């Protein structure tokens, strides 16, 4: 479905087009964040792979030293934030597509938020602990 | 629905979701690894015992593929979001590129991993 061949037959109102909003008025924010976090992860992918490669088969002391160093800790935290955000949005889209019972859908979306936030916080906390040497 | 042909782009759209869901669950492994590293040598050796086992390696190999495939397949979606690549041959090329590229990158990463890690 090319947008290029149907610009003049758009169903969107001129005002809607000017404000760049869809029917939900704020419906494009998750779409944008999904792409934003995707691009962030593509940029971070090589550094993250390098870090993991450095730690292959090494012991905990070495892992602590590497993961706790400031630039690497920042890279890992950024990657975790981008991943958790991206997967939270992605899973919500999947839930909204396949779960049609309203209560079950709300519960699933809530669980999805809890899971994503818990994984992100646990991982970030671990990295901060490695960095501060507590 | 017998009237339309099942196309590669349709199949890969499902694979994009499936790999996304697998990666979602797999973040538990990432969190486990980081928490273990923060906890100490004993906890870390449990993770290494798992990732070093045959099952662990298979899961990690699958995870690598899911990540690489999802990334390339996602870049393909990004190209479409920008309004390019909708011609039949372009669609096919992007889809085959994601499919083959994902496998190639996965094998490449594992060759490098074994080369530098010596399969430790």
- pLDDT, position B116: 85
* Cross-chain Cβ contact A60/B24 below 8 Å: no
Residue B40 confidence class, pLDDT cut points 50, 70, 90: very high
Write the pLDDT tens digit of every residue in A4-26: 555 567 777 776 666 666 555 55
Please check the confidence at residue B54 and state whether its pLDDT lies above 80. yes
Please check the confidence at residue B105 and state whether its pLDDT lies above 50. yes
Name the DSSP class of B4: S
A90 touches chain B (CB under 8 A): yes
Q: B110: which chain A residues are within 8 Å (Cβ-Cβ)?
A: none
- pLDDT, position A134: 52
Length of chain A: 134
Please check the confidence at residue A49 and state whether its pLDDT lies above 70. yes
- List Cβ neighbours of A112 (8 Å cut-off, separation of 6 or more): A88, A91, A92, A95
- pLDDT, position A5: 54
- pLDDT, position A1: 46
pTM (2 d.p.): 0.86
Handedness of CA B42, B43, B47, B53 (dihedral sign): positive
Min mean pLDDT across A27-36, A39-48, B91-100 is at A27-36
Cβ atoms of B37 and A60 within 8 Å: the answer is yes
Give the span between the Cα atoms of B26 and A61, in whole angstroms.
24
Least CB–CB distance from B34: residue in A42, A57, A126: A126
Min mean pLDDT across A7-16, A34-43, A119-128, B30-39 is at A7-16
SS (H, E, C) chain A: CCCCCCHHHCCCCHHHHHHCCCCCCCCCHHHHHHHHHHHHHHHHHHHHHHHHHHHCCCCHHHHHHHHCCHHHHHHHHHHHHHHHHHHHHHHHHHHHHHCCCHHHHHHHHHHHHHHHHHHHHHHHHHHHHHHHCC
Specify which of A31-35, B78-82, B103-107 reaches the highest per-range mean pLDDT: B103-107
Please check the confidence at residue A2 and state whether its pLDDT lies above 80. no
Least CB–CB distance from B112: residue in A3, A53, A80: A53
The whole-angstrom distance between A15's CA and the closest CA on chain B is: 22
Please check the confidence at residue A76 and state whether its pLDDT lies above 70. yes
Write the pLDDT tens digit of every residue in A77-131: 999 999 999 999 999 999 999 999 999 999 999 999 999 999 999 999 999 999 9
- pLDDT, position B4: 75
Min mean pLDDT across A1-5, A122-126, B2-6 is at A1-5
> Residue A17's Cα: distance from chain center in Å?
27
- pLDDT, position A129: 95
For residue A106, what are its two tokens? 């709300």
């Amino acid at each position: 479905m090319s947008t290029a061949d149907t610009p003049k037959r758009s169903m969107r109102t001129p005002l809607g087009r000017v404000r760049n909003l869809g029917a939900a008025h704020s419906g494009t924010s998750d779409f944008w964040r999904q792409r934003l976090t995707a691009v962030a992860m593509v940029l971070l992918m090589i550094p993250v792979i390098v870090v993991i490669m450095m730690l292959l088969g090494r012991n905990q002391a070495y892992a602590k030293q590497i993961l706790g160093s400031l630039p690497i800790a920042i890279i890992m935290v950024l990657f975790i934030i981008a991943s958790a955000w991206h997967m939270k949005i992605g899973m919500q889209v999947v839930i909204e597509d396949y779960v049609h019972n309203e209560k079950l859908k709300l519960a699933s979306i809530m669980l999805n938020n809890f899971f994503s936030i818990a994984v992100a916080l646990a991982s970030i906390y671990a990295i901060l602990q490695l960095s501060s040497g507590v | 629905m017998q009237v339309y042909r099942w196309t590669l782009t349709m199949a890969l759209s499902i694979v994009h979701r499936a790999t996304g869901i697998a990666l979602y669950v797999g973040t538990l492994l990432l969190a486990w690894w980081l928490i273990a590293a923060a906890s100490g040598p004993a906890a870390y050796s449990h993770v290494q015992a798992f990732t070093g086992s045959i099952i662990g390696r298979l899961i990690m190999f699958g995870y690598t593929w899911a990540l690489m495939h999802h990334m390339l397949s996602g870049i393909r979606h990004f190209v479409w979001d920008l309004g390019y690549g909708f011609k039949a041959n372009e669609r096919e090329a992007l889809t085959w590129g994601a499919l083959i590229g994902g496998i190639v990158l996965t094998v490449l990463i594992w060759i490098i991993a074994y080369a530098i890690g010596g399969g430790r």
